[in-house]
Chain A
Amino acid sequence: MPFDRLVRVVDDWARLKERDDVFAQIGKTDYRPAHIRFQQFLSPSEFDQRMREATGIVAHAGTGTIIAAAQLGKPLLVMPRLARLEETRNDHQVPTMRRFAERGLVLAASDERELERRLDGLEGFRPRATIGGAASDQLIAALRQFIDGA
């Protein structure tokens, strides 16, 4: 689903700051950025490569992105997609963002104005924790036990 609001803000910011090192995966967004390089979709390996090379990531507040960024220890700034703007089916990204921001794992922006304001500080943000490549020991152990007993 499109997320024009986010792409526009990043595009404007790149123009103002004269950044030529910004890349966007824009998905189904209709808006075409004028100041940043972009592609509609990245393959999983391209996506992984871009994430590894990035000094800062801006995205929707989706758990896939949050986990991917946290695994790489990358600074991540998120803005939630909203159902009333037809950016998603329900507003679960709002509490998701809140919870992960509380834990110091992401920077949060509720709207475009906040997003604009927080972009400058993004690359200096240090996530409170880097996470490993797997779920918590507790969950893995619970699943192993269940599987062994099945």
Chain B
Amino acid sequence: MPKPKRILAVSSGGGHWVELMRLRPAFEGHDVAFVTVNREYRDEVSGHRFYTVNDATRWNKVAVLWMALRMLIIVLRERPDVIITTGAAPGYFALRFGKWGTCKTVWLDSIANVDELSMSGKMSGRFADLWLTQWEHLAKPQADGMAGPVFQGAVL
């Protein structure tokens, strides 16, 4: 049996969280902690460490900074081996801070992003060791020439 990894699973609320929950079989046998924006989701992951950060959009700089700070504290406290996120903003910060250390990181763009990648996804791609889209037609090089996300299946 390989040694269990420490996983930090991060998402915003709503569909992002629903998608993250569908990934749980991939975490079996490992030590997983969860970070999201809604305290009420705690019951869905009882038995696991659970953190919340405030939700924030890019138009509210103070809220964004606060979220970033809280996420930094969580990442430092958890010291995960792997950070997995379905987005959005909380996931961006988790991956960035994870990359300051030795974390391996995964960004799974939401299945809702059908015609193009999410904005947070485009920003997070270079901090993701595994950058995933759930639509094959989006698995292509980016406008700036950077390698794009890959397709490895979807949550549905």
User: Which residues of A are at the interface with B, using a C-beta cutoff of 8 A?
Assistant: 43-45, 62-65, 67-68, 70, 89, 92-93, 95-96, 98-99, 105, 131, 133-144, 146-148, 150
Contacts and interface: CB of A to CB of B under 8 A. Distances in A.
Interface in B48-72: 57
A28 to B, nearest CB: 14
Interface in B23-82: 23-27, 30, 40-41, 43-44, 57, 81-82
A66 to B, nearest CB: 8
Given A44-B44, A131-B156, A150-B82, A63 B19 contact: yes
A139 B153 contact: yes
Q: Give the interface size class of chain B.
A: 35 or more
A142 to B, nearest CB: 4
Contacts of A140: 23, 25-26, 153
Given A44-B40, A138-B152, A150-B82, A99 B114 contact: yes
A133 B17 CA distance: 14
Contacts of A143: 23, 26, 84, 106
A88 B27 CA distance: 33
A141 B26 CA distance: 7
A150 B41 CA distance: 28
A142 B152 contact: yes
A45 B41 CA distance: 10
Contacts of A92: 112-115
Contact of A62 (B15, B40, B152, B156): B15
A62 B111 CA distance: 10
A20 to B, nearest CB: 29
Contacts of B113: 92
B10 to A, nearest CB: 14
Contact of B7 (A68, A99, A133, A147): A147
